Amino acid sequence: MGTSIVWGVGIFLYLVAAWAALTWVSAPLALICAGVGALAGTVTALLLTGWVFTGGDSGVRVMTPEQVASGAAGGRKHPNLPRRDTAWAAYFAGPVVRDVRGVWGAVVRVTRRVWGFFWREELRQIYLALFPFTLPAAIGLAVFTLSGLGVALAVTVVTAALTTVLWLLGGALTWAMRGADRAYQAIFRSKTGCPHEDCWYVNPLPAYRCPGCGQAHRDLRPGRLGVLWHVCECGRRLPTTRLRAGHRLRPVCQRCLRDLALGAGKLTDVRVPVFGATSSGKSRFIMAAFGSLHLAAGDAVEAADIDSDRALRDYDRDLTADLGTAATAVVPPKAVTVRLRLPGRRLNGACLIHVFDAAGEYSQNREINEELSYLDHARTLAFVLDPFAVRAVSEQAGGDLLGRANRSLHDPEDSYAVTVQRLQAYRVKTHERCLAVVVSKADLLARMPLAAGLVPEDDSVRAWLAGQGLGNLVRMAESDFRSVRYFLVSSRKGAYGSGMDALVPLRWLLAEDGVELP
Amino acid sequence: MNQPISHRLSRVVLLLAVLLPLAAGAGALARSGVPATVWEWCVRFVAAVHSHAPFS
Ligand SMILES: Nc1nc2c(ncn2[C@@H]2O[C@H](COP(=O)(O)OP(=O)(O)OP(=O)(O)O)[C@@H](O)[C@H]2O)c(=O)[nH]1
Ligand SMILES: [Mg+2]
Ligand SMILES: [Zn+2]
Ligand SMILES: [Zn+2]
């Protein structure tokens, strides 16, 4: 009984004291605490922001090139390729999000720590008992927390605004640059064919090697890895677009990663497969054509790679010595590529010419013909026809002439059909392509009465072929291709400048592809 | 692995974009007299509390 009265009095006194403290101490103290809390919260959060943005917070994970490659900055999934190149993401396309998250993380972390410091297990009872004095502190802490979160929110809003503006600007620039790049490619036909055997892939966009570390960058278009430049893992800045990378970086094939010619992807790219039966004169025709091209263009023409350089030297040696040409090995051929400067052009003043010379066996055998995928991607083709393979001619020619001609023993019509049927089987639109029919060994043919009246002109050659029993071939060619022209060619050194020059068909093929030779 | 300089620059720009408007805002607020008014209200509130207190 007595104890309960003591308790009652005690509680009454406590409530009175608490009421007094609330009015006289807590109310003014709460104001001061709120002010201090607001100031402290703002300053703390700002300091944390600065700390995170200057890289002080090791908890903020850097978006590394490896992470970008595995999709940290988006990117389409490819079966066997990384999502993106191993390069740094543009700051506002990824890392910025991590930084802002880092600011929130730091603010929340510090706030929790402060609350945790005051709200300790052993002090809780005391706080509750002294609640009139605790209340202002609690108000101060609440304001501290709110202002800290407010700063984080402000950082987020400002960042979001800036990021949006930059995405709009960057997006517009990206769109314009990609558009210009593609328009340029379409106008100048600069998709580039890989010259390497068993690949021959036509690259709409070559990969480019970083000059610093040699890594191949497969997608140097403006985008999330940078609009004007990408930054390689090794720190090198690489210019974007084919136009800007074109002459500064080494292009490589997307499919086989072997080197392409410098400027590939930017320069006009002409691919000329030469086909025809064994010993019909293909290799010799190519030699003579390059020889004449060199005479006509001089320094403007140069080999685009080491192998082509060696091939051109060999060609020149054989032509000059007038050696017989050795049969081409039956292996998938690498193209011989030359770079030709075109002084007449202001934009894109050069082109790459790839000539593919496969052994005649490929034109006689349907099975191995399948391997030559470069045939499918050429806009222009050259078919070499040995006149001495025609029955009427070989019957009239004496043994001496036949021996010198080292004639082809295979039916020209069949060698034509093997290749063209292959093209059609692969749904290549041959009626959009051009064909040069090259009647070879004209120097020897000219000695025969049967060739009297035959002159190196389209109509004359066409009529002559039809007269020798090749009318069917002529009809097939003209129905298969958009444009067919007939040439009479002597692949010997003396023919340069004459109507029988091997450059005549090459000039026509290049012109059909938009390249006017000097 | 060193991050590109462009990242550092971007962060500095971003930081300035946050701090400058904030500083400007704080300055404008101080000059506008709003804080002083708020302070006065608070003082009046406290005074009101005191005048209604049972022991006054
Ligand atoms: N006189 C003369 N001989 C030629 C001419 N073109 C080719 N020949 C000869 O014809 C033979 C065959 O020529 P190639 O160019 O090797 O024939 P190809 O079509 O490349 O033959 P494969 O590589 O075996 O498919 C060689 O002995 C050449 O020297 C020419 O215009 N005039
Ligand atoms: Mg050959
Ligand atoms: Zn690199
Ligand atoms: Zn390739």
Which residues sit opposite A193 in a β-bridge?
Answer: A202
Distance A7 CA to ligand 4 centre (A): 95
* Cα Rg, chain B, nearest whole Å: 22
Instruction: Supply the pLDDT for residue A278.
Output: 95
Residue finishing a domain among A164, A186, A208: A186
Query: CB-CB: which of A20, A27, A159 is closest to B55?
Result: A20
Instruction: Judge whether A328 is closer than 8 Å to chain B, CB to CB.
Output: no
Dihedral sign from CA coordinates of A46, A48, A49, A50: positive
Predicted local distance difference test score (pLDDT) of residue A61:
80
How many angstroms away from the CA of B31 is the closest CA of chain A?
A: 17
Question: Quick one: A336 and A457 in the same domain?
Answer: yes
From the list A40, A98, A110, A52, the residue with the least C-alpha distance to A72 is A98
Question: Nearest bound ligand to CA A374?
Answer: 4
- Picking from A53, A154, A226, the nearest residue to B15 by CB comes out as A53
Residue A322 zone, left/alpha/beta (φ > 0; ψ -120 to 50; rest): left
pLDDT at residue A1 in the model: 63
Query: How high is the pLDDT of residue A117?
Result: 87
Question: Terminus-to-terminus CA distance in chain A, angstroms?
Answer: 124
Q: Following CA atoms A330, A331, A332, A334 in sequence, which dihedral angle do they give, to the nearest 10 degrees? A: -100
E-only strand ranges, A113-236:
192-193, 202-203, 207-209, 216-217, 229-232
| Same domain (yes/no): A178, A35 | yes
Same domain? For A178 and A47 the reply is yes
The residues, ordered by sequence, that sit 6+ positions from A124 with a Cβ below 8 Å of its Cβ are none
Q: What is the model's pTM?
A: 0.86
Domain shared by A308 and A223, yes or no: no
Question: How many domains does chain A divide into?
Answer: 3
Q: Does B51 touch chain A (CB under 8 A)?
A: no
- A490 lies in some domain: yes
CA nearest neighbour of A236 among A82, A72, A86? A86
What order do you get walking across the sheet with A87-88 strand by strand?
A87-88, A229-232, A237-239
- Say if residue A223 is in the same domain as residue A96: no
A166 and A217 fall within a common domain: no
Q: Convert A375-405 to b/e letters by CB count within 10 Å (16 or more is b).
A: beebbbbbbbbbbbbbeebbeebeeebeebb
B49 CB neighbours in chain A (<8 A) are 23, 27
Residue type, A438: V
> Is A62:B3 a contact under the CB 8 Å cutoff?
yes
Contact between A206 and A252 under an 8 Å Cβ cutoff? The reply is yes
Other C-beta atoms closer than 10 Å to the C-beta of A22 total 18
Asked if residue A260 is part of any domain, the answer here is: no
Beta bridge partners of A336: A355
> Residue A441: which H helix or E strand, with range?
none
Given CB atoms, is A12 within the 8 Å cutoff of chain B? no
Residues A378 and A425 in one domain: yes
Provide the 8-state DSSP code for A449. Answer: G
What residues of A are in contact with residue B11 (Cβ under 8 Å)? 53-55, 91, 99
Which residues of chain A make contact with B18, given a CB cutoff of 8 A? 49, 154-155, 158-159
d(Cα A158, Cα A53) in Å, to the nearest integer?
Answer: 14
Answer for the pair A184, A208: CB distance below 8 angstroms, yes or no. no
Nearest ligand 1 atom to the CA of A278 is: 25
Q: How far does the centroid of ligand 3 lie from the alpha carbon of residue A217, in Å?
A: 9
d(CA A337, CA A354): 4
Q: Are residues A113 and A210 in the same domain?
A: no
pLDDT value of position B54: 61
Q: Which of A396, A278, A274 is nearest to A335 (CA)?
A: A274
Q: How far is B14 from chain A (nearest CA, A)?
A: 7
Q: Is A490 in the pocket of ligand 1 (CB under 6 A)?
A: yes
Interval A498-513: pLDDT, tens: 999 999 999 999 999 9
Q: Give the CA distances from residue A123 to residues A117, A164, A450, in Å, rounded to whole numbers and listed in that order.
A: 10, 48, 119
Residue A117 lies in a domain: yes
Query: Which tens digits make up the pLDDT trace of A16-37?
Result: 888 887 777 787 888 889 989 9
Write out the residue range of the structural domain in which residue A128 sits: 2-66+84-186
CA–CA min distance B49, chain A (Å): 7
Residue A325 and residue A439 in one domain = yes
Q: A232 and A318 share a domain?
A: no
The owner of tokens 């002529």 is: A474
Distance between CA atoms of A253 and A246, rounded to whole angstroms? Answer: 13
Q: Do the domain assignments include residue A127?
A: yes
Of the candidates B8, A83, A466, B41, the residue with the CA atom closest to the CA atom of residue B49: B41
Res. B55 pLDDT band, cuts 50 70 90 = low
Q: Is residue A79 one of the residues assigned to a domain? A: no
Which parts of chain A sit beneath pLDDT 70?
1
To test ligand 1's pocket by mutation, which of A274, A278, A283, A368 has the most ligand atoms within 8 angstroms of CB?
A283
Residue A170 has phi, psi (to 5 degrees) of: -60, -40
Q: Is residue A181 part of a domain?
A: yes
Residue A308: other Cβ atoms inside 10 A: 22
Distant-in-sequence contacts of B51-56, Cβ < 8 A, 24+ apart: B53/A20, B53/A23, B53/A24, B54/A19, B55/A20
Domain range summary for chain B, segments of one domain joined by +: 5-51
Partner residue facing A231 (CB), from B4, B14, B54 = B4
Query: Residues A154, A104: contact at Cβ < 8 Å?
Result: no
The amino acid that residue A408 corresponds to is S
State the pLDDT at residue A134: 84
Which letter does DSSP use for residue A495 in this model?
G
Give yes or no for a contact between A181 and A243, defined as CB atoms under 8 angstroms apart. Answer: yes
Nearest by Cα to A513 from A272, A335, A334, A204? A272
* Together in a domain, A230 and A98: no
- The answer to whether residue A193 is domain-embedded is no
DSSP A18-77: HHHHIIIIIHHHHHHHHHHHHHHHHHHHHHHHHHHHTT--TTS----HHHHHTTTT----
SS3 of residue A313 by DSSP: helix
CATH number of the domain that residue A355 is part of: 3.40.50.300
Q: Following CA atoms A289, A290, A291, A294 in sequence, which dihedral angle do they give, to the nearest 10 degrees?
A: 120
Domain membership flag for residue A72? no
d(CA A162, CA A151): 16
